[in-house]
Amino acid sequence: MAKTAQSVLRHDIVEIFEATALMDSAMSIKEIIRQLRARIQNYGYVACLITNLPNPSTGALDEHILVNGWPADWYNHYMTAKHYRHDPCAALCRTAMAPFLWSDVSRGRTDANARRVMDEAAEFGLRQGICIPIQCPSGENAAVTLAGSELDLTPSARCTVHALARHAYSAAHRLVGGLRKHKQRLSKRECEILQWVAAGKTAWEVSRILCISACTVNTHLRNVRQKLDTANIVQAIVEAVRRHEIQL
């Protein structure tokens, strides 16, 4: 029995090393998805999503996604219904330190919107899943979610899946993370408006100074909050100063 267990463990380790080596050499997100799926499908997983986790009140999730391996119909429904605002698994990923199963999210402690997210996922064939929370050195939250209908949840299988998921995140972040951060820099106009707001001007006062409408100012400020992943304008000012995009 001990010899058999040792053999299984050695096989799992070899599989992890082979997969991570291929992910490290991947030159596209498509290749990372292909390598991850090739391994996790052996454990019953058919879908995967790798994403940074913005504040749910600051805007859409799609611009934060690194790898989208969800079925297209579920992904489109999830985004259209704005389920990311009520997804109990996403909420738990912002505070959890260890991987957890979808079924670990107690239904008795979730509200109607959260239950709807889980029920509709099951209707699309994603009846069970696992979430791997990731705490980034920058302090940001991220997560890898894998799902299917019938999963192998033995300890060795879960250990292998956890390792593959974490490495897939690292590989995806290497390819996409730097470019994504660059794309999220504030525009010249956004910096100009935020600089005036930081100086104590109201949206109406800024509109008079820049000869634009107050509605346009507020639209720019909303975009600023989304780009900086902040819940309010005070946090946005702090983050913009930290990133050296404006000065106090």
56 phi, psi to nearest 5 deg:
-60, -15
Q: Give the tens place of pLDDT for each residue, 90-133.
A: 999 988 988 999 998 866 566 889 999 999 999 999 999 999 99
pLDDT of 234 above 70: yes
Least confident of 9-18, 46-55, 69-78, 207-216: 9-18
Q: Look at 51-65, 126-140, 155-169, 223-237 and tell me which has the smallest mean pLDDT.
A: 51-65
- 106-115 CB contacts, 8 Å cutoff, 24+ apart: 111/86, 113/85, 113/86, 114/86, 114/87, 114/88
* Closest CA relative to residue 241, chosen from 189, 182, 191, 207: 191
Q: CA-to-CA distance for 163 and 158, rounded, in angstroms?
A: 9
Across the strands, what pairs with 145?
A: 49, 131
Domains, the chain, ordered by start: 2-182 (3.30.450.80), 188-242 (1.10.10.10)
**Any idea which of 13-17, 133-137, 181-185, 218-222 has the lowest mean pLDDT?**
181-185
Residue 35 φ then ψ, to 5°: -70, -40
